Structure 1
Amino acid sequence: MEPANSEPRMAPDMWAFEALYAQPAMLDGETLRAALAERLGAVDLVADGDTILLALRDYCVDYSDKKGVPSEIAIIRAGEPMDPTDYASALEQTWDWPEKESALAQCQHCVLVSEFMGRGLSVPERLEILQAVMHVLIENGGVTAISQTNAGCLLDPQRYLQAHADGFIYYGVVNVRFFNISNRPGEMLMDSLGGATFGVPDVQLLFSELDPAEVSRFVFNTSVYLVEHGDVIADGHTVAGIDGQSKWACKHLDALVEPERLVLDIDPRPAAEADQAS
């Protein structure tokens, strides 16, 4: 089914994350249902066991062939022991967790968590559900690390809880990655991951003489702006640069770094120079 009257430039991706455990996860469907209901209202336990399925009756989507379909959350225990090497890329692009390597090395068990039938909900609703589910799983106990699949990073569970308590609602939802360009000495690339979850492009910026810390904040804030407002920056539009004075040209392009996707490329060169280059 497709959501009724929904034709965005980019269809939202399903969100998913992996809760990683040092010991087998102790998950009880009714316990999780009750905890989630405290945050999200009416929740039904549809299935229990190795796969727990929860229906969110206060978060419904209208489809062209059926109205008022509750969104659902699937919590699935992996059948095989996890391999920490599968998370090498996420480990490399995790910047704020000094103990990430030692935490990941402890992990042996994986629980996959994803939304189902929920992509037609609004961005605030989907964020609320994602954050509620992550909080409930962490507070249930035993989570050593979280692999935030859509954002390509690892999260310290306790830091995640604290960040949200401090009001940083996009922490762990959007991640900024950093790359050196091997065949172009001095050139660097930053891009974001996470926007596609909400049907908007990620942001990328190729640069050489800017402060990476400032570029990181700029890329993150621009990505959050797109998540909140939609894909509203058209090709040829400009955005204010880091200094607040310069104008940086924008264009939708294929991403320079995997995964393959459409991104909003922002050129930090002066507008006239960027126009000549294009």
Structure 2
Amino acid sequence: MEAAKAYVVRLLYRSRPTLRKSAILAKLENYAPDFTPLDGDRDEGLLAFVRSEPLFEKAQWIATPAPFDEATCDEAWTEGLEQSWNWPEARDVAAECKFEIQVADVRALDLPAARRLRMIQQVVAAILHSAPCDAIYWTASRSFVSPAEFLAAVDSLEEHPWLAPGAIHIRQFRVVEYEDGADANLQDALLDSVGLNTLGLPDVQCHFRGIDAQLIVPLLYRAACTLFETGRVAAGDAVAGIRPGQFWRHRGEKSLAPPLRTVVDIAPSGGHKAGVRD
């Protein structure tokens, strides 16, 4: 099991947002009546919230407004824009944003992954109802999401928060050679998920050749969702492949693409497995 990390979501704005703490809190109370402000002030002060239910007694959710800092646009940010398959407008919208609100959980690492994800989604949604943003950057999944798309989906996914936009992102890479020079003339493909590792779950990956990558995407997405639901990708040592009666074995190993983390590697059958493995 991976060590969980702080979960951070960045809400991006073209113009300075106006935040009403009382409105945010009212929306949070619609989700759960035991939401309260950390500082006891419903109208002003810190945008920090807690819950009184014992499961959440240590956790805090904090929103921090700030001018947008281009120095924070790291490699993960750039990659997110390049792989924004579901929202092609992300690059142009993000380039116009001058302000942001960073939403993070504190002391929430011990919460179950799905519950923790749901909580951060509720805080993000509550803020967006009060101060709509222009783009959302989910740092855990390295993905940019349309705020309208997120809000349209999030409230209907109470029991399945991993299905909400931004929770899981499937990346695609082209692998042209290996360090030892083997297969240097072949172009293999690598697909992996991002979004689970931050919550203490392993991501999934598949390194393959000779298969349309778009056939692998739903397989990996289903495997990632199953990890959220059950803590594993399948009941046995194999998952259903892309054709009826086909089974692909899986095992834990280190990721091929950054960030370095433990993943569940799913190896295709029928001569489509790629890479140099033990």
Aligned to 2:65: 77
Q: Answer yes or no: is 1:40 the counterpart of 2:32.
A: yes
Number of residue-to-residue matches in the alignment: 260
Q: CA RMSD in A?
A: 2.7
Q: Is the 8 A contact 2:223 2:233 kept in 1?
A: no
Could you list the runs of 4 or more consecutive aligned residues of structure 1 that deviate by over 6 angstroms after TM superposition?
none
Change (3 A) 1:113 1:12: same
| Structure 1 portions without partners, runs of 5+ | 1-8, 62-68
CA–CA separation in structure 2 for the residues paired with 1:215 and 1:265: 13
CA–CA separation in structure 1 for the residues paired with 2:97 and 2:33: 32
CA–CA separation in structure 1 for the residues paired with 2:28 and 2:145: 21
Q: Give 3-state SS (helix, strand or coil) of 2:87's partner.
A: coil
Q: Which amino acid aligns with 2:62?
A: A
Q: Is the 8 A contact 1:21 1:143 kept in 2?
A: yes
Deviation, 1:240, is 1.6
CA–CA separation in structure 2 for the residues paired with 1:59 and 1:77: 29
Q: Give 3-state SS (helix, strand or coil) of 1:150's partner.
A: coil
Q: Is the 8 A contact 1:144 1:156 kept in 2?
A: yes
Deviation, 1:85, is 4.4
Structure whose residues are more often strand by fraction: 1
Aligned to 1:65: none
Q: Answer yes or no: is 1:144 the counterpart of 2:139.
A: no
TM-score by length of 2: 0.83
Aligned to 1:66: none
CA–CA separation in structure 2 for the residues paired with 1:58 and 1:41: 10
Q: Answer yes or no: is 1:179 the counterpart of 2:166.
A: no
Change (3 A) 1:38 1:206: same
Aligned to 1:98: 88
| Structure 2 portions without partners, runs of 5+ | 178-183
Q: Which amino acid aligns with 2:137?
A: S
Q: Which amino acid aligns with 2:61?
A: I
Q: Which amino acid aligns with 2:226?
A: Y
Aligned to 1:4: none
Aligned to 1:253: 253
Change (3 A) 1:245 1:265: same
Q: Is the 8 A contact 1:82 1:107 kept in 2?
A: no
CA–CA separation in structure 1 for the residues paired with 2:24 and 2:156: 24
